[in-house]
Amino acid sequence: MSQINAAPPAPAYVFRCFESGKDMTQIEELVRDAEVKAKPQSAAPKPAFMEEVDDDGPLYAARRAIYPQSVRGFFRNIKWAMLGITLGIYYLLPFVRWDRGPDAPSQAVLIDFPSRRFYFFFIELWPQEVYYLTGLLILAAIGLFLMNAVAGRIWCGYLCPQTVWTDLFYAIERFFEGDRREHMKSDAAPWTARKVAAKAGKHFTWLMVAWWTGGAWVLYFADAPTLVKDLATGNAPFTAYLWIGILTLTTYTFAGHMREQVCLYMCPWPRIQAALTDEYALNVTYRYDRGEPRYSVKKSEQLRAAGQPAGDCVDCLQCVHVCPTGIDIRAGSQLGCIQCGICIDACDRVMEKLGRPTGLIAYDTDLNIQARREGKPMSFHLIRWRTSLYAAIIAIAGGIMIYTLATRDSEGISVIHDRNPMYVQLSDGSVRNAYTIRIVNKQLKSREFILSVDGIPSTLIDYVGLPPRADGRQLITVGPDQTKEVRVMATDYSPTPPAPSTTVLFTLTDIDSGATAQMRDHFFGPASKK
């Protein structure tokens, strides 16, 4: 077991795979026995090298400095591409223009709090349509579940803002302080002007990136070019500076200093996602069926020459040195693993140099490891109940959202009946009800509507403070992208008194397009005399 001692001690947060039963009490023994009996027969015992986890460490562990080594390879390239795409979208999207005419902002993506509108390219949402946000959250959650069911925590590894910014900050760190070895050496060495300059340069660049991150954030809430000008001339609102300050601080702290600790201690996703994964999900896996027993290159070749078993893992620790969370993937699936696949690239480079097949670490399942051990073929189940269900939920939720967005009306009416008095008896015996009506015009042009009410005979609508046109028509003009409140009175002039309550239907008609919006309400009359 001398090879294992060469590896660094696993941190306390590594999952305990198996524990040797020293100093067990009687109760613990009973529990352990029950657990062993309850285990399904198919689950093979974990290999011996995974058992060495110190579970009696301190409750609070100081952070170990992590110096991830740079690496080249397929998954690293995907990560660079994702970094470029996601950060590119984040920093540049506010500057994308979208022509909405003179009465609306021309920013493609804008959350306009003062006028309570959300713009996303051709979509404009009003506050009462905030349920689309519910739909988005459902899509986001199920999308995450689906990713997890297909290939584990790839959200964490490639797309999470914490990962992306930390990756960028590591790149900056390497630019100023060098790769792993150089950086470690410099950190251990006494302070020199050169070291101070490198550190200062790094922190300054970090702060600039962080500041830019905060700056881009506020651009989503106001016209970007105007706000940039105002920020530059010092005329921007205080809130803008405050939020830039807050996001500069959080970005600098989280991506520069806290890094993997955010994932390990602060983030709920690792816990939730661990509960969502299953035996078919492709997780970053050390194929210990191939790798064990591990020996140095020299020793393994000697053993192989002698016909003794020797695995492909040469214990070079490259997978540990490149890991951004500082874990040893060979200890198995664990909380600290964000499934970024960087260790796959590192291991592949080593295997290539040694002339051994790549893929000693790969996106794979424990089931396949067992299958290979037993000489059975590997199997991949991308389409299964879980993934099909997630895909169906995404399709249904997305379909409903698209359908409702495409068919929603651009005009609306809401009616509030007067509460006091419920009805008014006029001197000639007719009965009048008053309503407050709010008319919604979601189009970007001014529109004219005509209002009618059905359900009671001999009705007349009077508009408070809204004189009729010269031609006698009573039209209600609603400005572009606005609402208008009108108080109207409906009077029943029929000789017979109306029922205590009659259902009436208000119809709003756009006189140009003929589009209508309807709302039901009630017309109240005197209670029948007993």
Partner 1 sequence: MADEHKEIDAVTGTATTGHDWDGIRELNTPLPRWWLWTFYITIVWAIGYWVVYPAWPLITGSTEGITAWHARSAVVDDLAELKVQRGPLMDKLAEASLPEIAGSPQLLDFARAQGRVAFADNCAPCHGAGGGGAKGYANLNDDDWLWGGKIGDIEQTIRFGVRSAHDKTRAGNMPPFTGVLKANEVSAVADFARSLSGLPAEKGVDLDLGKKLFAENCAACHGDAGKGNRELGAPNLTDKIWLYASDKATIEQGILQGRGAVMPVWEGRLSEPVIKALAVYVYTFGGGEK
Binding site for partner 1 (CB under 8 A): 60, 418-422, 424-429, 432, 434, 462, 464-465, 487, 489
| Residue 471 · residue 94 · CB < 8 Å | no
Whether the link from the prior residue into 324 is cis, omega within 30° of 0, is no
| Nearest distance in Å: CB 432, partner 1 | 7
Buried b (16+ CB within 10 A) or exposed e, 417-428: ebeeebbeeeee
CB nearer to partner 1: pick between 258 and 329: 258
| Nearest distance in Å: CB 415, partner 1 | 16
CB nearer to partner 1: pick between 477 and 502: 477
CB nearer to partner 1: pick between 194 and 469: 469
| Residue 260 · residue 326 · CB < 8 Å | yes
| Nearest distance in Å: CB 101, partner 1 | 24
CB nearer to partner 1: pick between 274 and 424: 424
* Residue for token pair 């020459």: 305
Q: How far apart are CA 99 and CA 80, in angstroms?
A: 33
| Nearest distance in Å: CB 418, partner 1 | 6
Q: Give the HSE-up count for residue 413: Cα atoms under 13 Å, Cβ half-sphere.
A: 26
Beta-carbon contacts of residue 50 (< 8 Å; ≥ 6 apart): 17, 18, 331, 332
Which helix (H) or strand (E) segment holds residue 304: the answer is helix 297-305
Q: Is 138 helix (H, G, I), strand (E, B) or coil?
A: helix
Q: How far apart are CA 530 and CA 107, in angstroms?
A: 64
Beta-carbon contacts of residue 393 (< 8 Å; ≥ 6 apart): 138, 142
CB nearer to partner 1: pick between 140 and 460: 460
Furthest-apart CA atoms within the chain: distance in Å: 117
| Nearest distance in Å: CB 356, partner 1 | 45
CB nearer to partner 1: pick between 46 and 487: 487
HEC string of 212-278? Answer: HHHHHHHHCCCCHHHHHHHHHHCCCCHHHHHHHHHHHHHHHHHHHHHCHHHHHHHCCHHHHHHHHCC
CB nearer to partner 1: pick between 42 and 496: 496
| Nearest distance in Å: CB 22, partner 1 | 14
CB nearer to partner 1: pick between 289 and 418: 418
| Nearest distance in Å: CB 466, partner 1 | 8
CB nearer to partner 1: pick between 272 and 426: 426
| Nearest distance in Å: CB 262, partner 1 | 14
Beta-carbon contacts of residue 525 (< 8 Å; ≥ 6 apart): 423, 431, 492, 497, 498, 499, 500, 501, 502
Q: How far apart are CA 228 and CA 244, in angstroms?
A: 12
| Nearest distance in Å: CB 126, partner 1 | 22
Buried b (16+ CB within 10 A) or exposed e, 322-334: bbbbbbbbbbbbb
